[in-house]
């Protein structure tokens, strides 16, 4: 059963938990469409219902990426993760709203209208997986699937007070994910408790030959499955202690640190200097990749055709792209094309160098060696890194819009605490605590430790 919600109403819709026909209510605008994909078998997820971010394709149903250009697109195949979830007993009941093509940190940049925060209506949900977070927060599903490019699962999780897990890059297949920035895009999981997130992760943590970035079996097998959480060393990078942190965030962070110490863990200050350079490096790389990926949507090969009367093919492409892309997507395409131009190529190269430096600095901060870099273990390193997910709790919509209108870069600063883990590809989870989010980060491949310590904290 497929039903597309009209873009023109800009209304707020959501599934009920009790309706067998998945009737829609005007509430949070967390869904773009209702799509039912029944399980193909039984398994550990039997009886669960989930919501899928609408930049992940489902066969013969619309997959819009919240963009006008793909508003009528129907995929001929399912994403790998959809088939995996179906094979283990879970039922897909809807596809969630998002910032167009995953570009945004508030979920206000959707062709289908903004998502409203179920925890506090005047506040933003965070983006770009705001619909996925709102669906979990409002209780209409057992878990949801999002994508995290620079914090797009973790920031909404923080603002909507749910758990949001970004696994190690390459752990979960990206086959069937409509790309924003393919070296950063990571499928993530949102839920109201760690147990369901862990169950879903176990189902999706599989090698996929269709995804060239999927970690091969031999690499996965190198990772030590034995997890010791009795006494850990947990690092606090001084670069995350920002002046912009609100008092509520600072106090909650301190309270979490006290809890960890009470559990027998050691708290250790550390320094990762390249964190300070990570935000500009991220937006240089992400916009460059976006400009390349979105070049295919010209209304001729892919995407909606505006049908405007023009004289040349170039005019038609210009008309299609300016009509069908929202302003934030257009802005990032322009930024990306500038980055890739001959006048600015050095900026792109420098951003790749910063990313490499950041990966090395993070890796050498951990005790365990990086399974790909093979940099060796160190007794002076830490087991995990802890930091806030955002500098403050969810801002009001009016406040966010006003700041963004003053300077669009203000919206980009929301990602300052999340992009380092994205650039390095390390596993990270946002834990809801006192109205904010706290991130736990582990060494590349150390997903199980991150999940286990998050569970201990949540208990």
What is the three-class DSSP state of 4? Answer: strand
Render the burial of 64-85: b for 16+ CB within 10 Å, e for the rest: bbbbbbbbebebeebbbbbbbb
CA-nearest of 372, 35, 421, 332 to 218 is 372
| Cβ atoms < 10 Å from Cβ of 308 | 13
Contact indicator for 187, 211 with CB cutoff of 8 Å: no
Return all residues near 288 (Cβ < 8 A) that are at least 6 apart. Answer: 336, 339, 340, 348
Contact indicator for 127, 104 with CB cutoff of 8 Å: yes
Q: Which ranges of 205-277 does DSSP label H, i.e. alpha helix?
A: 217-222, 247-262
Q: Looking at beta carbons, which pairs linking 80-83 to residues 24 or more positions away fall under 8 Å?
A: 80/173, 80/175, 80/176, 80/208, 80/210, 80/211, 81/56, 81/145, 81/172, 81/173, 81/176, 81/187, 81/204, 82/37, 82/52, 82/56, 82/57, 82/58, 82/176, 83/40
Whole-number Å distance between alpha carbons of 242 and 249: 11
CA-nearest of 248, 266, 260 to 434 is 248
Tell me which residues are annotated as active site. Answer: 53, 128, 152
């Amino acid at each position: 059963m497929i039903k597309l919600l009209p873009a023109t109403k800009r209304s707020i819709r959501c599934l009920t938990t009790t309706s067998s026909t998945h009737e829609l209510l005007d509430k949070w605008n967390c869904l773009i469409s209702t799509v039912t994909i029944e399980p193909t078998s039984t398994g550990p997820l039997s009886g669960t219902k989930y919501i899928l971010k609408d930049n992940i394709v489902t066969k013969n149903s619309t997959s819009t990426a919240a963009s006008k250009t793909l508003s009528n697109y129907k995929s001929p195949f399912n994403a790998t993760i959809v088939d995996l979830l179906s094979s283990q007993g879970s039922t897909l009941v809807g596809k969630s709203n998002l910032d167009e093509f995953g570009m945004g940190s508030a979920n206000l940049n959707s062709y289908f209208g903004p998502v409203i925060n179920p925890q506090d209506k005047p506040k933003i949900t965070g983006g770009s997986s705001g619909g996925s977070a709102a669906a979990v927060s409002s209780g209409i599903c057992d878990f949801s699937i999002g994508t995290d490019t620079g914090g797009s699962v973790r920031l909404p999780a923080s603002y909507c007070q749910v758990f949001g897990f970004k696994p190690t890059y390459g752990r979960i297949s990206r086959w069937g994910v409509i790309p924003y920035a393919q070296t950063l895009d990571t499928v993530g999981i949102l839920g109201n408790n760690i147990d369901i997130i862990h169950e879903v992760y176990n189902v999706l943590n599989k090698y996929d030959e269709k995804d060239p970035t999927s970690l091969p079996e031999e690499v996965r097998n190198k990772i030590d499955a034995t997890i010791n959480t009795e006494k850990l060393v947990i690092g606090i990078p001084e670069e995350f202690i920002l002046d912009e942190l609100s008092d509520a965030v600072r106090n909650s962070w301190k309270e979490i640190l006290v809890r960890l110490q009470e559990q027998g863990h050691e708290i250790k200050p550390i320094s990762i200097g390249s964190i300070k350079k990570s935000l500009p490096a991220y937006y240089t790389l992400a916009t460059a990749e976006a400009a390349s990926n979105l070049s295919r949507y010209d209304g001729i090969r892919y995407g909606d055709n505006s049908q405007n009367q023009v004289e040349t093919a170039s005019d038609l492409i210009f008309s299609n792209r300016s009509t069908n892309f929202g302003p934030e997507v257009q802005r990032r395409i322009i930024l990306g094309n500038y980055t890739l131009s001959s006048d600015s190529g050095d900026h792109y190269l420098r951003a790749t160098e910063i990313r490499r430096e950041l990966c090395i600095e993070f890796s050498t901060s951990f005790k365990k060696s990086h399974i790909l870099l093979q940099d060796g273990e160190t007794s002076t390193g830490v087991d995990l890194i802890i930091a806030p997910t955002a500098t403050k709790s969810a801002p009001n919509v009016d406040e966010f819009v006003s700041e963004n209108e003053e300077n669009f870069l203000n919206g980009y600063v929301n990602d300052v605490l999340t992009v380092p883990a994205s650039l390095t590809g390390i596993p990270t989870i946002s834990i809801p605590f006192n109205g904010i989010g706290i991130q736990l980060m582990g060494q590349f491949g150390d997903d199980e430790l991150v999940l286990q310590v998050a569970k201990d904290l949540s208990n």
